[in-house]
Chains A and B, each alone.
Chain A
Amino acid sequence: MLSSGENTPAPYQQLCEEVIRAEKIVVKFGENVAVDHVDVNVKRGEIYGFLGPNGAGKTTTIRVLTTLLHPTSGDVTVNGFKIPSENKKIRRMIGFVQQMISLDKDISVKENIICHGYLQKVPKKDIQIRMERISAVLGLTPFLNYTVIKLSGGWKRKTAIACALMHDPKILFLDEPTAGLDTQSRHMLWDMIRQLNSAGTTIFLTTHYIEEAENLCDRVAILNKGKRVALGSPKELCDKIGRFAVEYDGDNHVRKYRYFSDWDDAKKFVATFGDSDSVLLRRTTLEDVFLEMTGREVTTDFVKVVRI
């Protein structure tokens, strides 16, 4: 084992613009195609967002990129290293906060964080001090001696985030990091993500909060039923479907939407409604793009269904 050679990056990696490059990943679970020829290319130092409805294949894709799951087919390189032959080198430089909180529930918060330090081979002398500093900034200090099972959901997530930060990863994967966090913590986490990013960490993030992706991400990819249906900066995507949105009431209180690239066209369309109609003209948001790309749920007559 040439342990000294492992840490010196080859010149190619330093130049490599794309830290994550995945081509045509396919993941099948039996007959079910969870990920269907998805390409991922994440540039060094960007915040890359992954959006998609439940079951779209976000978690499965992340598990492939983090070496946890072998894809059925497809080529993946992370920082110039190939999966699966160079997994060990990849694992050194990535951190991953899973959607399902993956802590050992029988031991304390502190022990979990320390174990992570050891597993990630943080120098022994730094482990204690890093543990204290990271848990302090995340507000975990009062809970350090709690067994994980006794923590509330949000604190568990913060513990998982603390664990992932122990070895200061170059690439941080966050699978719905803000799910279940209160508003204060969510804002704190956003600041943390931005700060880490400006200090050079590449961030790969999935979320169901579209405004989170809109605020944070340099580029977002939208996934639907295992396929990538859109890719670009939030602004580019909004421009693509039309920068102006008009929403109005259809039959039986079902909201309808139209998009326009041109302000005047939108105005003209609004003018066709009378004053009494609840028509709204506004800027297109990423949420509109998301719903257009992934399809709105067909809204039925809920009242009829619920009140038999």
Chain B
Amino acid sequence: MILSFFDETFRVSLQDLYYLKRNILSILVTILVTPLLYYVSFCYGLGSNVNDMEGVSYIAFVIPGVVALSTLTSCFSSIANKVLAQRIYYTSFDEIILCPISPSAVIFGKALVGLIKGMLGCAILLIIGLIMTDGLHISLLLIASIALSCMVYSLLGVLVGFLSNSLTTVIMFTSVIIAPMTFLCGTVFTVSSLPVGLQYAVSALPLTYSTECIRASALGWSFPVLSLVVVAVFGVAFFLICYYMLSRGKI
């Protein structure tokens, strides 16, 4: 049962894996440019004027934050665009629906490439981060937090790809929801420095919790298990909506 689920997931993702293999370099460049720019501008540009934050150097504070935001940016838009294109413009998504494969495998199969891309990107970012500062710890918890975040934002990508009916919708969602999320969710400064109203808004967004988990595990702080659970709950919610749409033929 479990085995056949993984097998089906792989079958669904094969198309995207071929694409990934063919374009691996350009994909990596695309997902790494923005976080690397953040590294440069926050660590060297801004960071030289900022004192220690929460007891660690600003560089050590920012790097896990940038890793967290890159789990969102590298997974979400590519998946949302891909699913939308396959659904509306190529109609090749129909071919996947037409196959004897369970809806959950279809959803995870589409999200799998995001997970792979996101993990690759984060690995590179962490390696660069390790060179830049010696305050980072690589642990199993860190890897698990990153993997979970990548999965959740890939699922969000699948969901938005299902919900939208044109490229404009995806672009709008990206600039209205995703872009503010990357800045406000405690990635490059603490949530507590925001106005109170915004703090409430931000606490409804999953990236806040991803950042907490990734930062705590990377800096060796006590791990916020509850935050990890919240991230997972977001993932389950995204999955369930996708599942509902797919199994009811509402896409």
Contacts and interface: CB of A to CB of B under 8 A. Distances in A.
A106 B90 CA distance: 10
A55 B14 CA distance: 35
Given A68-B249, A102-B90, A119-B99, A107 B11 contact: no
B12 interface: yes
B18 A70 contact: no
Given A1-B1, A115-B14, A119-B95, A104 B100 contact: no
Given A1-B1, A68-B249, A104-B86, A119 B96 contact: yes
A118 B11 contact: yes
A69 B98 CA distance: 11
A91 B102 CA distance: 11
B91 A96 contact: no
From A66, A94, A107, A108, residue with most partner B Cβ within 10 Å = A107
Given A84-B249, A107-B19, A66 B98 contact: yes
A215 B15 CA distance: 38
Contacts of B15: 104, 107, 111-112, 115
A107 B17 CA distance: 10
B11 A102 contact: no
Nearest to A107: B18
Interface in A81-109: 84, 88-89, 91-92, 94, 96, 98, 100-108
A10 B90 CA distance: 37
Interface in B81-108: 86, 90-102
A98 B91 contact: yes
A245 interface: no
A165 to B, nearest CB: 13
Contacts of A119: 11-12, 14, 95-96, 99, 101
B171 to A, nearest CB: 19
Given A69-B249, A111-B15, A118-B14, A103 B101 contact: no
Given A1-B1, A104-B15, A115-B15, A94 B98 contact: yes
Given A104-B19, A119-B12, A163-B95, 20 more contacts: A67-B97, A67-B249, A68-B94, A68-B97, A70-B248, A91-B98, A94-B98, A96-B98, A98-B94, A102-B90, A102-B92, A102-B93, A102-B95, A103-B90, A106-B19, A115-B15, A115-B18, A116-B95, A118-B14, A119-B11
Interface of A: 1, 3, 66-70, 84, 88-89, 91-92, 94, 96, 98, 100-108, 111-112, 114-116, 118-121, 163
Interface of B: 1, 4, 11-12, 14-15, 18-19, 22, 86, 90-102, 248-249
22 contacts: A67-B97, A88-B100, A88-B102, A91-B100, A96-B94, A98-B91, A98-B94, A100-B91, A103-B92, A104-B86, A104-B90, A107-B15, A112-B15, A114-B14, A115-B14, A116-B95, A118-B11, A119-B14, A119-B95, A119-B101, A120-B99, A163-B95
